[in-house]
Structure 1
């Protein structure tokens, strides 16, 4: 049985998905040092060996070398760099350190894509609030301001006026870049993602993923297959993802490339060097393919040539309700039983169990997941509407009042 090291923390897959996807392997988990990781340590320790990431690097490396792993992988964006460092020291396949820098550093990624002739996007790095203001004016409003390294839309803002710029919180080094304005796309989102598997430098695009309209400022509320694209635009999106992966030097692993659909054609938003958030759940339920397992096979150096994900002429979807901006706690969710009973809803799961503290800010935080299957995109939207109409969420806001909010479609 092959041995694989997994660096775990809050990320694209749940601990349950991890254990199911890696059931055929002997697993050692390198556990991150967050509260989230600590919460799931008892569950993981029951099925895997545990080593804490928060220990001297030489001690961790010695423990891993004694265990003699065959591969190493992570499904958490925050641990991609640590995984690359350990992979290099252990001589195991993974993104090399130069590629990881480009995948994690949003400013370096923009610069590399421009140098390679893939896409020129105005992008400046601000190291203090004064530079932030100067760069925003240099690029020209509206601009997107986001952390140099980050995930889940944390501290990501659309700045359209000098007043918004002046009120923007300073959270550390930030990238100031031109706003990629999407083409008219309603009732769908004006962006997609491309899920890809790279083996020995050969790229296989598993799927182009459709999205719902973003909730302000850049919060995602789910995804579906197939994306509602004409054949020529679908091919342009795939070609752009291939070019971006080549420019960044990606030779192995699963990637998640976000692409904006503009009036001038597809434009790269960013490339991520791991499975996309909640994408594995859709693949397992909709296609019977486990991307956790596929990522492990790539990490073990197998010559994998996977088939594109096939939804068999249906539309499969996963929709998420997310808290309104400013809410601090989720107090109640009513109507779950009724939502599950809606024809076309295959599963309804709560991710947050009331009463639950909310992260707050502008980060994407998922309350629940509505998974379903429809004959076409119109039926998908109708199923989501009926399920959401059955649900009521009660949130607490800073003023202490309870606010009943339905979904924000």
Structure 2
């Protein structure tokens, strides 16, 4: 036997032994008593049956084999054998991955410490769990939720989420129960000993299959992983992952960096990663092949055999891979799952399934008599099916088809009723287009959509970015694509949006600015996407239709007319008298709104408005005296689910002349107007979005006049979040950001758990305190001085929209701010006092001089 062609294999499957044998290698196999097979005994040159996790048992056998017949490499592709394979490599200087690198990758606590020390920018907060009190301390430091896991287990065994302080006792009891166990659900090769607490990482999960050649890390593929809230079982995998170029590049770069930091030089690796709002963060690393038939997926889609590479590379029997192997198809694994509490009655159809088109493998562990458990980890699944198809999406779909068409695992309920096992549910891939006529900083879509695995394409407006004092970004800011456009109202803008929708297979369209609601609706309708279409949005955009429907439902609105000519406007003026309000029928941000106090200003306006002839896009309204209130909230399944009223302490139309501070305050809970406004919001929304409307889950912003004689008169309502800092005020009240809520609804993601359905018998939630916003409008000149960020415990946020040394123009709309703040207080009176004092301080420290 030639020692230069002899491989010492620590553990392994029949496949691993077979492939080493097929390469012409002599195999010396250390195999666990529970894993040895007839094929292994037949193909291996020698087999020693031993607990290969115990070095004291392994070392004498290795020394004897090294004497005779000798071997040139030691490899393990199974988690329990990795460290002792590393010891053998070190003992005889064989190359390959040694014990030190293997141990720091395998031990999750050691890996976290090493990354924190050597690559702090990509570190994840983690601590060892020793006592019950450690859970409280970690939560206080890193917040909730966080993760508890064993330091050296696999298959999601023992992984738990600590949702909040109230969850700590349950988790500690489970840690105590699992410590030291070898149960039927835990591989007998592992004893759970030490546990680790980790910072929660939010975002879609992937694994990365790589092979390193003397430090050149080839990312063979990124594998899409399918999971579900409530447990850590893996429900499926697919290659190649459906990622944007930016996300794909970020993960590849991140994993190459991780392998470099950990000291990985040669061999196969399976690294699990989450794509967070801050970029890729490693969950775990393994210097072995992945499980769940992932190597079979890679071989099918890429033609790359990771097992053959792993056993053949140390002997120079395989060619090195190119830097980026190309896929020639897609492949996926789907899990079979059953109804908890049932018992497996029969298993049939497996041979049919194996013979079906595209099937790579079928693995079913369920046997008649087995109980079906609640999904907790991978051991609770009933089986797996791996399939190939023309692309990733088709493979995912084909896996479910094969299960439904061929596999019949009959499950019996205690009462005798039977059901069939089913393919695990995998959420469809969602690709989102966001039309963004706003500054970028207040809208962190990536953070709002941490669980979004599909593309996010953002079309942003240059003017809005620059008006907010932001710099126009060079890159994509972590989005799949970020394009900066000059004119959102140009025909070519809509054409570009349609191009991108086709290119990225967009499934949802989101817009949070009033000026974009019509376009978003048109785009959805054109492609038949979920969410509101043109006729659903029109009652909120067309003020004439809005008022007509409101009046038909008995809701009071200002006297109004849609004057097509100047004479029709004069007739209305004669009947109503002054003051009057001219506004655009589909206007927003008070742009073009004019309050006309006398005949001279009225005639001047008529000359301007009707200079080109008849118009059908303007309204003329009677002036309603009183202070303007507004109600902001969210709708779930067509009913108001969370809302609260506020009152502007300023005139909206005075943005160009008001030196500020402009204050807007929520109404106290015991204010008699509060329930009346909430009731009015429900009635208005029912009138404008009745049963059957596609407008079901959304935010809204309603403005209402409170007259001196105590009447509520509807001004207008929008089916999107309010502007200015209303979104932040709402977040202060309830802990729910209405912008995030609206975007998640359009993206097809689960909505905030605090937002109950509107028919909840408990009624609408109550705010935790009162809150308000302070706004200072821009005025023209050279910005010579601006205030520092105030340090006040009651302040929820403070924003500046200019820089010292910048020349700014006067406010061009009601959202063109110099500064803004959101604060809270126990009641409205105290909130107003705090904000007005802050406003005076901001004014004193804002110096704008002559630009010349």
Determine the C-alpha separation between the residues in 1 that align with 2:258 and 2:266.
14
TM-score when normalising by structure 1: 0.85
Are the structure 2 counterparts of residues 218 and 15 from structure 1 closer, same or farther at C-alpha, using a change threshold of 3 Å?
same
Are the structure 2 counterparts of residues 75 and 367 from structure 1 closer, same or farther at C-alpha, using a change threshold of 3 Å?
farther
Q: Does residue 151 of the first structure (1) align with residue 154 of the second (2)?
A: yes
Unmatched tracts of structure 2, length 5 or more: 180-192, 426-852
Residue pairs, 1:247-286, within 5 angstroms: 247-277=261-291, 278-286=293-301
Q: Cα deviations across residues 129-184 of structure 1 (Å, max 9, x unaligned)?
A: 443444344332101110011111111112213343311212232110111111xx
Q: Cα deviations across residues 342-365 of structure 1 (Å, max 9, x unaligned)?
A: 6x5324513325237579683313
Q: Does residue 205 of the first structure (1) align with residue 208 of the second (2)?
A: no
Determine the C-alpha separation between the residues in 2 that align with 1:356 and 1:73.
38
Structure 2 residue aligned with 1:387 = 402
Select the residue among 362, 372, 383 that pairs with 2:376: 362
Residue pairs, 1:240-389, within 5 angstroms: 240-277=254-291, 278-300=293-315, 305-307=320-322, 308-312=324-328, 314-322=329-337, 330-336=344-350, 339=353, 344-352=357-365, 354-355=367-368, 362-365=376-379, 367-389=382-404
Determine the C-alpha separation between the residues in 2 that align with 1:381 and 1:163.
38
Q: Cα deviations across residues 88-107 of structure 1 (Å, max 9, x unaligned)?
A: 11221222222122111101
Determine the C-alpha separation between the residues in 2 that align with 1:197 and 1:376.
23
Select the residue among 21, 33, 42 that pairs with 1:46: 42
Shift in Å at residue 45 of structure 1? 0.8
Worse-matched range after superposition: 247-256 or 289-298: 289-298
Shift in Å at residue 341 of structure 1? 7.0
Determine the C-alpha separation between the residues in 2 that align with 1:27 and 1:334.
37
Contact 1:71–1:301 (8 Å) recurs in 2: no
Unmatched tracts of structure 1, length 5 or more: 183-189
Structure 2 residue aligned with 1:15 = 14
SS of corresponding position for 1:321: strand
Contact 2:331–2:396 (8 Å) recurs in 1: no
Select the residue among 398, 418, 423 that pairs with 1:407: 423
Shift in Å at residue 287 of structure 1? 3.4
Q: Cα deviations across residues 266-317 of structure 1 (Å, max 9, x unaligned)?
A: 22111111111122222333333321110113334779521344322x2222
Structure 2 residue aligned with 1:127 = 130
Are the structure 2 counterparts of residues 259 and 57 from structure 1 closer, same or farther at C-alpha, using a change threshold of 3 Å?
closer
Shift in Å at residue 76 of structure 1? 0.7
SS of corresponding position for 1:266: strand
Structure 1 residue aligned with 2:91 = 89
Contact 1:53–1:60 (8 Å) recurs in 2: no
Shift in Å at residue 28 of structure 1? 0.8
Structure 1 residue aligned with 2:682 = none
Q: Cα deviations across residues 104-123 of structure 1 (Å, max 9, x unaligned)?
A: 11011112112222512110
Are the structure 2 counterparts of residues 142 and 250 from structure 1 closer, same or farther at C-alpha, using a change threshold of 3 Å?
same
Determine the C-alpha separation between the residues in 2 that align with 1:258 and 1:233.
15
Structure 2 residue aligned with 1:71 = 73
Shift in Å at residue 401 of structure 1? 7.7
Determine the C-alpha separation between the residues in 1 that align with 2:246 and 2:266.
27
Are the structure 2 counterparts of residues 165 and 373 from structure 1 closer, same or farther at C-alpha, using a change threshold of 3 Å?
same
Are the structure 2 counterparts of residues 177 and 326 from structure 1 closer, same or farther at C-alpha, using a change threshold of 3 Å?
farther
Are the structure 2 counterparts of residues 121 and 393 from structure 1 closer, same or farther at C-alpha, using a change threshold of 3 Å?
same
Matched length? 390
Structure 1 residue aligned with 2:200 = 179
Are the structure 2 counterparts of residues 23 and 381 from structure 1 closer, same or farther at C-alpha, using a change threshold of 3 Å?
closer
Contact 1:22–1:292 (8 Å) recurs in 2: no
Determine the C-alpha separation between the residues in 2 that align with 1:236 and 1:376.
22
Contact 1:336–1:348 (8 Å) recurs in 2: no
SS of corresponding position for 2:22: coil
Determine the C-alpha separation between the residues in 2 that align with 1:145 and 1:396.
34
Structure 2 residue aligned with 1:187 = none
Contact 2:332–2:399 (8 Å) recurs in 1: no
Determine the C-alpha separation between the residues in 2 that align with 1:88 and 1:247.
20
Determine the C-alpha separation between the residues in 2 that align with 1:253 and 1:356.
41
Q: Rg larger in 1 or in 2?
A: 2
Contact 1:204–1:305 (8 Å) recurs in 2: no
Determine the C-alpha separation between the residues in 2 that align with 1:123 and 1:324.
35
Structure 1 residue aligned with 2:57 = 56
Contact 1:93–1:300 (8 Å) recurs in 2: no
Contact 2:330–2:393 (8 Å) recurs in 1: no
Q: Does residue 160 of the first structure (1) align with residue 163 of the second (2)?
A: yes
Determine the C-alpha separation between the residues in 2 that align with 1:58 and 1:21.
23
Q: Does residue 3 of the first structure (1) align with residue 24 of the second (2)?
A: no
Are the structure 2 counterparts of residues 358 and 348 from structure 1 closer, same or farther at C-alpha, using a change threshold of 3 Å?
farther
SS of corresponding position for 2:202: coil
Are the structure 2 counterparts of residues 174 and 383 from structure 1 closer, same or farther at C-alpha, using a change threshold of 3 Å?
same
Q: Cα deviations across residues 25-81 of structure 1 (Å, max 9, x unaligned)?
A: 110111125x3x2xx333311111102344734421222212211111111111111
Are the structure 2 counterparts of residues 356 and 199 from structure 1 closer, same or farther at C-alpha, using a change threshold of 3 Å?
farther
